Amino acid sequence: MKYVSTRGLTDPVSFNEAVAIGLAPDGGLFLPESLPDISPRLPAWKNLSYAELCTEFLSIFATDIPADVLEQIVHRSYGTFTHPDIAPLRKIDPKLYVLELFHGPTLAFKDFALQFLGNLYGWQCAQKNRSINVLGATSGDTGAAAIHGLLGKPLTAIFILYPEGRVSPLQERQMTCTGAANVHAIAIDGSFDDAQRVLKDIFANKSFATQHNLSAVNSINIARVLAQSVYYLYAWLRLPEADREKVEFVVPTGNFGNVFAGWLLQQMGVPILGFKVATNRNDILHRLFTTAEYRSGEVHPSLAPSMDIQVASNFERFLYYALDESPTRVNAVLAQIKATGSYRFDLLNKSVFSSSAASDEDIAALIKRVYERYRYIVDPHTACAFKDLNPQRVSVVLSTAHPAKFPAAIHAAIGQEPTAPALDELKSRPIVKHRLPADAEAIKAFITQRAV
């Protein structure tokens, strides 16, 4: 299978090439040249373990990786998870399930993709006997998960940009207290959108990216999207058959990558009824699905910092399909967004997508309500998903992070402070970070000094 750029100015590449490059040279995002129909395979996949299902699914897309190698990479990746189901599906009410995605090494859903990507990078480096420098931007969980996917791996270095003072203290510690020589946590002045802008500027400098074998670890990397599709499929297969026909996945998301991974699965023939996009006060996606207008605004710090975003980078992939897979139309829309800051769709399918936005006051109230009603503790991001659930549908809420990562918000809401041993251990370690401006030249100079 080949992969094409959403902007149409890059020759098709293999899966391995798409993963290694990350961002297409024309600035676009890679997608499969065509999407397969996986519906005939669903009955045979029903009783597979998570790792077995992941191997079967990814083998459709990673056609240039030997089957035994792919199987080893997948099993190694999910062998680090602490729950035997990897992504347990918990029923907390007759029409309400929670898909727990926080049993990986950094207690966040990003581990699903980034443990896999880290091991895939390790294999690629060993195959080619060359180094790789991984660059990413994070609003919280991506950075920690990416770092732990590459922790101590030979021939690799990882550089993670994050907004100073705008991630939770424990999220920062997960990035800055590893003690690993190949990890470089860079705190920039500004927002996550500033970090993401710098990252794209650096990758746009093709000679610099080639010189340092740069690769992207953000959800712009197609391997991340495909790996995330698997947990939707795993959950759908474990629902009672009657519930599968009317299920809506409720997804806390700011960058659109998580919900796009589920929507892509629907395009491959999995009969998922719909998706609800749950945002915080930075509600660009909620406004998109209620007004059909994509318009960026100012980023406001919130209790759910991983969603403090106003430029949803994965939206470009959705745009590609919404515009009939026409790179010419994609480029025209992107040019309009760059010039005016907005784009209005003629029509968005509201039978597939719905949305909600939660203020900080809503988040605190939702944490309390969920605990009182279900005796279940959710983190601030997951709490956003419990706002205005559709009573006509079966809801599967994606629980994206362990509540222990946000002790202050949980304690303020319910008077309890959940803990996790992996996080408690970090509190005694020294923080090692590098404070830099949100400037591509400054970051490039830093990378040049420390690249492997």
Q: Which residues contact 293 (CB under 8 A, 6 or more apart)?
A: 287, 342, 343, 344, 345
Q: What is the rounded distance in angstroms from the CA atom of residue 219 to the CA atom of residue 226? A: 10
Query: 102: part of which helix (H) or strand (E)?
Result: none
Asked if the structure places residue 243 within a domain, the reply is yes
Q: Is 110 a catalytic residue?
A: yes
Q: What is the dihedral of CA 295, 296, 300, 304, to 10 degrees?
A: 80
In which domain, by residue range, is 351 found?
A: 89-108+223-420
The answer to whether position 126 is within a domain reads no
Candidates 91, 110, 387, 405; catalytic one: 110
User: Bridge partners of 187?
Assistant: 162, 435
- For residue 393, being part of any structural domain is answered with yes
Q: Is residue 400 part of a domain?
A: yes
Burial 271-299 (b: 16+ CB within 10 A, else e): ebbbbbbbbbbbbbbbbbbbeeebebeeb
Asked, for residue 331, whether it belongs to a domain, the answer is yes
pLDDT digits (tens, 9 = 90+) for 280-311: 999 888 998 888 888 888 888 899 988 888 77
Residue 285 forms part of a structural domain: yes
Return d(Cα 413, Cα 368) in angstroms, integer.
Answer: 6
In order of 33, 128, 150, 166, 202, the CA distances from 212 in angstroms are: 28, 15, 17, 29, 11
Residues with pLDDT less than 50, the chain: none
Tally of domains within the chain? 1
**What gap in Å lies between CA 225 and CA 223, rounded to an integer?**
6
98 found inside a domain: yes
Q: What is the 3-state secondary structure (H, E, C) of 382-433?
A: HHHCCCCCCCCCEEEEEECECHHHCHHHHHHHHCCCCCCHHHHHHCCCCCCC
Please give the C-alpha separations between residue 330 and each of 28, 218, 285, 291, 317, in angstroms, as whole numbers.
Answer: 10, 21, 18, 20, 9
Task: Write the pLDDT tens digit of every residue in 213-265.
Answer: 998 877 788 999 999 999 999 999 999 999 998 999 999 988 788 999 999 99
CATH number at residue 349: 3.40.50.1100
* 77 vs 227: CA distance, rounded Å: 11
In this prediction, residue 349 carries a pLDDT of 65
What secondary structure letter does DSSP report for 41? Answer: G
Residue 110 — left, alpha, or beta (φ > 0 → left; ψ -120 to 50 → alpha)? alpha
C-alpha closest to that of 253 among 268, 238, 270, 275: 275
- Give the up-direction half-sphere exposure of residue 293: CA atoms within 13 A in the CB hemisphere: 7
Residue 164 lies in a domain: no
Kindly give the pairing relationship between strand 156-163 and strand 293-295.
Answer: unpaired
